[in-house]
Structure 1
Amino acid sequence: MRSRHTLVLFLLLGLFRTLHSQPAVAPPKLAVIIVVDQMRADYIDRFQRDWSRGLKRLITDGAWFRNAAYPYLGTVTCPGHATISTGAFPHVHGIPANQWWDRDAGRQMACTEDPAVTNLGYDGPGQEHNSGYRLKVPTFADVMRTERGAHVVTLSVKTRSAIMLAGHGGDAVTWMSEPLDTWLTSTAFARALVPEVKTFIAANPVDADFGKSWTRLLPASRYRDPDDDQFERPPPGWTQAFPHAFNGTAGKPDASFRVQWDISPFADAYTGRMAAALVETMRLGRHDTTDVLGVSFSATDRVGHKFGPRSQEIQDQLARLDRTIGDLLDRLDAAVGKNQYVVALSADHGVTPIPEQLQRAHLDAGRVNINDIVARIESKLGPALGAGAHVAKLDGRDMNLYFLPGVYQKLVASPALLADVVEAIESVRGVRRVYRAEQLRSVPAAGDAWLRAAALSYVEGRSGDMVISVRPQWISSAEAATHGSATSDDQRVPILFMGNGIKPGRYDQAATPADIAPTLAKLCGITLPNAEGRPLTAALR
């Protein structure tokens, strides 16, 4: 009798688990992840009155999580996209930065670099070698593809953005080469060029935009900031003021033209058109499962680095992106069916304003001198360890400090010398704190929020021997503006959902971009094995 009751109990428990994993409503036909690279959370409050199409529709008809932020230090593109796609933070998904010092190779290694694969060029020779194999956990798209047979399409101008949204496979994973001279995929994702992608690129050459000009979309009175700020750093061939012509520096569609095109809304418009075309030609959303589309729009990041977040260029870029996303949603309505798909939109990081603009307003801001940090370290280590270099690499883009082989071990063995080096680094203007590797190997549950942020970004074997955090409103880059800190400028981003299974509204609960993939997974009836985020059930029907 007892065994029969036990059997019934197990059957009921199994039924409960099955029902618990199933979505409350029919799964969407298509799950869409949109990343707006470098979109600060406050851009919605500042600029939404300019929007009437895609961004406006997402805010009005969707669920807007207004209190969303990354909890970690390394707020840059590759970790951000990996966090969105996996539901995990860098210490779990394995991507601490856009690049890191490979101790064995003795050089910088890109987050998507993979010598075992070959890139395939659509409109030029294949260059570089890229895949998602450095990602340590599966993405939402990976699980949908392997467990549900989903068709997966991701694309971006940036290599790391397209690949991190896809993960370890996909039907069409597409990006531009670093010199911006050809669209690419790799043998990690395809045995040959994808015909639908090849057809679109052949019919829509980027060079068709040569000779055009980026002009202001809105009436002059609508712009909040001055047009011509002396601290903006436009690319060669442009001034700080509108209009910005796509003529290159030599009057022909060469590399300088491609750089100008890349730092403009035209790059996003092209990406949006390609995404819509691939949905139609690859029949996404019309298979017997939920397909996955990942689109990362890179131009807001490119523009923000050159002109800063307090510029007419950023305001205009977002007004034009509103139209681009509107066109994409319209074509999804036609191809898949309105309310038959779900969209999640977020950003991979925010951005800190141009320090010189902040200084002009008498705020504590500035640029950390990387060479000064290295010089102070060497001045401490030379007398103790001998003449010559001891620092292998300090990259201002992520502030990970790597010592030459054996040096850090000697520091750890000499606490007084180690303390001297830490003190020397922290004495540099703009540096807030130095964290040692041994402090970051476990994530504290509470307490020091800055230490926790650094630990969430730490990946053993990839992160530096020391990690340097800068003070709020300080940066360590030659760009006009940048990101990569554990401050609200860089951590706070929007999270928006719209479509199938979503309850529209404004939600003030705390959220992180790691919640996006688990929320989509719940809608699709799957489980992400390594997710640290949780489904945002308040916005689910």
Structure 2
Amino acid sequence: MKKTFLTGLAVLIALVSFAQGTKKPKLVVGIVVDQMRYEYLHKFKDRYTDGGFKRLMDEGFMMKNAHYNYIPTYTGPGHSSVYTGTTPATHGIVGNNWYVRDLGRMIYCAEDSTVSAVGGTEKNGKISPRNMLTTTITDELRLSTNQRSKVVGVAIKDRGAALPAGHLGDAYWFDKNTGEFMTSTYYKEEVPKWLKKFNNKKLAQKYLSNTWKPLYNIKTYVQSVEDNNEFEVPFIGRETTDFPYDLEELMENNDGIGLIAGTPFGNDLTLDMAYAALEGEELGKGDETDFLAVSFSSTDYVGHRFGPSSVELEDTYLRLDQGLEEFFGYLDKEYGEGEYLVFLTADHAVADVVNYFKSMDVPTGSFDSRFALTQLKGFTRANYGEGDWILNTSNDQIFLNRPLIAEKDLDLEEVQRDIADFMLRFDGVKEAYTAADMKRFEYTEGRKHLLQMGFNHKASGDVLLILEPAWLTNSSRGTTHGTGFIYDTHVPVLFYGWNVKPGQSSKYCTITDIAPTISMLLDIRIPNGASGQPIQEITD
């Protein structure tokens, strides 16, 4: 009898263990905060609510030393790398836009001429993930359940929705001409009923009827520089860059309804859309794990215009924090604490404003690409004869006229090296590498390694430049990103919720580790081009 009882107990324990081992979260929420530096977590922490960013930091697991592991650090490559677990060298999204030799023109990372708009305006609807050459973690989730799991991507920017949603999910983005969210025939043949209902609320127009004022007394924004300064880019029609901003008045000369993207209310609108997608698609309400990919684009627009030390940026993050607190409270209520899994990261960070650094005598500068190109064209004609030797310059890369080089019986590698050496003459250019270098050698450290991880044999240029630290191209007011320096690579990586124990680590990790980590947590296949590794502090 005792033996029978013990055997039955062992079977019961095994069954319970099996059930616990196979349990999955109801929902995964991937959050990308466009252009968010890691330092913003701490810089504004004293002003954050308990339930927003601080909830993830204090109750989730935080990787304090997480970085992008390639150049260039742009939005398209960033979203792709987070969700594929690999770099542009493999997934193929080598920029937001890049030059294609066979076409003789620039292409956009998410463009697709074979599809049409569904909702919105036609020119903003030719969007799909087809330029991305590998699977995403969202694809792998769908494949693991024979596509019973649902995946939805939501963002103001089309690339911020389409690339995370992968090849098998649905994506919705903002159409600045109509103020509505839209999709394309890659995903749907008609606008879902729930989206029509959402769009009919005309929330963008309602937000833009407001005046953007600081959330708190402006004297309390001690982490930011003086509000009115010479470092920021004023809105068209205004000479100054200080609060308040009458949005209704600014609309006429600042992209109409599209103005909302450059205000914190763009993040509010994105959250509104996230709620609508959760409810309209009934995400997390079925038998399988579903996935919501949300990208907050407005932090990037505000950051570009005003810079990382501005009152406007601080205010934007304080407002986003409040929105996240409400969002996480909603998830608690709808799915239950511990029943959903969240990760939060950024698609890149950002450089400081050149004029701001100059005002403090910190080494910085602006590389004059137009002057350099003029000089380069003169150099090539003087050395190789008349002809259009330079087809394109973009993303700090130079594309040479290879057919002309062959026609003149010149050695391509020698021409690449000549031009790389010539470019080192210019102030602001720190390093120059050739495509031949990238193909021949395997670099394992330093900026040349980051450059190689972003180098695609078919899509990248003949000569690749790296500027000096804190130098930007053609920049004085406002700022940008794209380099492999710490200010552009260091981003937040936080996991929270289902099967995630609180903690933190200063161990180096890369954003390409996020997708493999999610794969291990969900016990599904790692994306097929992944080069990152699971973060063991979280998975083990």
Shorter-chain TM-score above 0.5: yes
Aligned to 2:14: none
Q: In the TM superposition, what is the alpha-carbon distance from 1:368 to its structure 2 partner?
A: 0.8
1:141 aligns to 2:131 (yes or no): no
Instruction: Indicate conservation of the 8 Å contact 1:157/1:175, yes or no.
Output: yes
CA distance in 2, matches of 1:42, 1:186: 37
CA distance in 2, matches of 1:77, 1:344: 18
The TM-score normalised by the length of structure 2 is 0.90
Structure 1 residues 442 and 177: alpha-carbon distance in aligned structure 2, compared to 1, 3 A threshold: farther
Q: In the TM superposition, what is the alpha-carbon distance from 1:278 to its structure 2 partner?
A: 1.5
Q: Please give the per-residue CA displacement for 1:271-294, whole angstroms capped at 9, x wherever unaligned.
A: 011102221232111111110000
Structure 1 residues 411 and 375: alpha-carbon distance in aligned structure 2, compared to 1, 3 A threshold: farther
Aligned to 2:327: 328
Aligned to 2:11: none
Instruction: Indicate conservation of the 8 Å contact 2:211/2:247, yes or no.
Output: yes
Q: Give the superposed CA RMSD.
A: 2.2
Q: In the TM superposition, what is the alpha-carbon distance from 1:249 to its structure 2 partner?
A: 4.3
219-228 or 362-371, which deviates more: 219-228
Structure 1 residues 213 and 391: alpha-carbon distance in aligned structure 2, compared to 1, 3 A threshold: same
Counterparts of residues 369-518 of structure 1 (less than 5 Å): 369-395=368-394, 398-407=395-404, 413=411, 417-441=415-439, 444=442, 446-447=444-445, 449-478=446-475, 480-518=478-516
Q: In the TM superposition, what is the alpha-carbon distance from 1:443 to its structure 2 partner?
A: 7.0
Letter in 2 for 1:499: G
Structure 1 residues 408 and 95: alpha-carbon distance in aligned structure 2, compared to 1, 3 A threshold: farther
Instruction: Indicate conservation of the 8 Å contact 1:28/1:500, yes or no.
Output: yes
Counterparts of residues 206-285 of structure 1 (less than 5 Å): 206-223=204-221, 224=223, 225-238=225-238, 239-249=240-250, 256-285=255-284
Letter in 2 for 1:403: L
Aligned to 1:306: 305
* DSSP-derived class of the 1:231 partner: coil
> Which 5+ residue runs of structure 1 have no aligned equivalent?
1-20
CA distance in 1, matches of 2:19, 2:436: 42
462-471 or 481-490, which deviates more: 462-471
Aligned to 1:48: 45
Structure 1 residues 129 and 415: alpha-carbon distance in aligned structure 2, compared to 1, 3 A threshold: closer
* DSSP-derived class of the 2:113 partner: coil
Q: Please give the per-residue CA displacement for 1:365-413, whole angstroms capped at 9, x wherever unaligned.
A: 0111111221221121102332243212212xx2122123424656971
Q: In the TM superposition, what is the alpha-carbon distance from 1:67 to its structure 2 partner?
A: 0.4
* DSSP-derived class of the 2:200 partner: helix
421-430 or 411-420, which deviates more: 411-420
Residue 96 of structure 2: which of 91, 95, 98 is its match?
A: 98
* DSSP-derived class of the 1:338 partner: coil
Letter in 1 for 2:340: Y
* DSSP-derived class of the 1:247 partner: helix
Aligned to 1:9: none
Structure 1 residues 178 and 215: alpha-carbon distance in aligned structure 2, compared to 1, 3 A threshold: closer
* DSSP-derived class of the 1:406 partner: helix
Aligned to 1:533: 532
Residue 82 of structure 1: which of 52, 70, 80 is its match?
A: 80
Letter in 2 for 1:462: A
Letter in 2 for 1:366: G
Structure 1 residues 286 and 412: alpha-carbon distance in aligned structure 2, compared to 1, 3 A threshold: farther
The TM-score normalised by the length of structure 1 is 0.90
Structure 1 residues 96 and 412: alpha-carbon distance in aligned structure 2, compared to 1, 3 A threshold: farther
Q: Please give the per-residue CA displacement for 1:431-485, whole angstroms capped at 9, x wherever unaligned.
A: 11111112223673524x1111110001122111221111110011446100000
Structure 1 residues 463 and 22: alpha-carbon distance in aligned structure 2, compared to 1, 3 A threshold: farther
CA distance in 2, matches of 1:386, 1:492: 45
> Which 5+ residue runs of structure 2 have no aligned equivalent?
1-17
Aligned to 2:342: 343
CA distance in 1, matches of 2:498, 2:421: 54
Q: Please give the per-residue CA displacement for 1:235-286, whole angstroms capped at 9, x wherever unaligned.
A: 2144310111212447x6x863334321111000010111022212321111
Aligned to 2:154: 155
CA distance in 2, matches of 1:121, 1:27: 35
Q: Please give the per-residue CA displacement for 1:476-531, whole angstroms capped at 9, x wherever unaligned.
A: 14461000001001011010110001011121111111111111111111011321
The number of residue pairs the alignment matches comes to 514
How many percent identity over aligned positions? 30
Letter in 2 for 1:209: Y
Letter in 2 for 1:233: V
Q: In the TM superposition, what is the alpha-carbon distance from 1:324 to its structure 2 partner?
A: 1.3
Letter in 2 for 1:307: F
Instruction: Indicate conservation of the 8 Å contact 2:115/2:125, yes or no.
Output: no
Structure 1 residues 419 and 411: alpha-carbon distance in aligned structure 2, compared to 1, 3 A threshold: farther
Instruction: Indicate conservation of the 8 Å contact 2:52/2:323, yes or no.
Output: yes
Instruction: Indicate conservation of the 8 Å contact 2:232/2:306, yes or no.
Output: yes
1:286 aligns to 2:285 (yes or no): yes
CA distance in 2, matches of 1:445, 1:454: 9
CA distance in 1, matches of 2:138, 2:103: 31
Q: In the TM superposition, what is the alpha-carbon distance from 1:205 to its structure 2 partner?
A: 3.3
* DSSP-derived class of the 1:68 partner: strand
Instruction: Indicate conservation of the 8 Å contact 2:520/2:539, yes or no.
Output: no
CA distance in 1, matches of 2:52, 2:267: 13
Structure 1 residues 281 and 184: alpha-carbon distance in aligned structure 2, compared to 1, 3 A threshold: closer
Aligned to 1:7: none
Q: In the TM superposition, what is the alpha-carbon distance from 1:184 to its structure 2 partner?
A: 2.0
Aligned to 1:361: 360
Instruction: Indicate conservation of the 8 Å contact 1:69/1:491, yes or no.
Output: yes
Instruction: Indicate conservation of the 8 Å contact 1:154/1:166, yes or no.
Output: yes
Structure 1 residues 442 and 39: alpha-carbon distance in aligned structure 2, compared to 1, 3 A threshold: farther
Instruction: Indicate conservation of the 8 Å contact 2:179/2:205, yes or no.
Output: no
Structure 1 residues 442 and 129: alpha-carbon distance in aligned structure 2, compared to 1, 3 A threshold: farther
Instruction: Indicate conservation of the 8 Å contact 1:265/1:320, yes or no.
Output: yes
Instruction: Indicate conservation of the 8 Å contact 1:40/1:350, yes or no.
Output: yes
Instruction: Indicate conservation of the 8 Å contact 2:354/2:479, yes or no.
Output: yes
Structure 1 residues 413 and 201: alpha-carbon distance in aligned structure 2, compared to 1, 3 A threshold: same
